Amino acid sequence: MNSRICAACVAGLLMAASAAHSQEPLWIGTFVSEQQSTQGVDAAIETAVAKMNFITRPIARSRLKKTNPAYERITISQNGRVINVQFDDRKPIEMPADGTSIKWKREDGEVFDVAARVIQGKLVQTFRAEDGYRVNTFSANQSGQMTMEAKIASGQLPSPVIYTLLYQRSSGTPAP
């Protein structure tokens, strides 16, 4: 009798652990690019700078292309109240999961206020600088496809840069 009770308790614990694991957001994991080119990013940049004058257009285009690469790999994890987002081989960005902003320095030395929060099941990562902001919205589905929607806006741009990149869960990353 005691062994049946013990077995039932173990089974219950395993089911609870499984349920907790299945509640993990679908955007957690390592995802690799489904796209082979930067055409979507380039087209979005061209649309945003099209109305600029011929002097400022190439400067804006160059800066936007430099700061908006089509990443090959994105790794997202959550450890307690901290969300980590890593683009390619860059250092992970560690942000509080409650949306609190932190100071973060990009490789080129530019400093941003960065925040992360979950809104309606999507991870929303925001970068704010003196001259504008960027919002990355990550969402994923059961088949392992992740979408990163990027929006870059600045008072110096006549319209925002908006593009979407598609990623697939890496074969080495189990689905939640």
The whole-number average pLDDT for the span 42-60 is 95
Q: What is the pLDDT of residues 94-130, one digit of tens each?
A: 999 999 999 999 998 999 999 999 999 999 999 999 9
Report residue 21's pLDDT band, with 50, 70 and 90 as the boundaries: very low
The whole-number average pLDDT for the span 118-143 is 96
Pick the closest to residue 147 from 65, 13, 33 (CA basis).
33
What pTM was estimated for this model as a whole?
Answer: 0.83
- Residue 13 has a pLDDT of 46
Q: What is the pLDDT of residues 167-176, one digit of tens each?
A: 999 976 666 6
- 16: pLDDT strictly greater than 50: no
DSSP string, the chain: -HHHHHHHHHHHHHHHHHHHHHTS-TT-EEEEES-SS-HHHHHHHHHHHTTS-TTHHHHHHHHHHHH----SEEEEEEETTEEEEEETTSPPEEEETT---EEEE-TTS-EEEEEEEEETTEEEEEEEETTEEEEEEEEE-TTSEEEEEEEEEETTSSS-EEEEEEEEE-TTS---
As a whole number, the mean pLDDT across the chain is 88
Helices 56-67, 39-49: crossing angle, 10 deg rounding: 150
- 137: pLDDT strictly greater than 90: yes
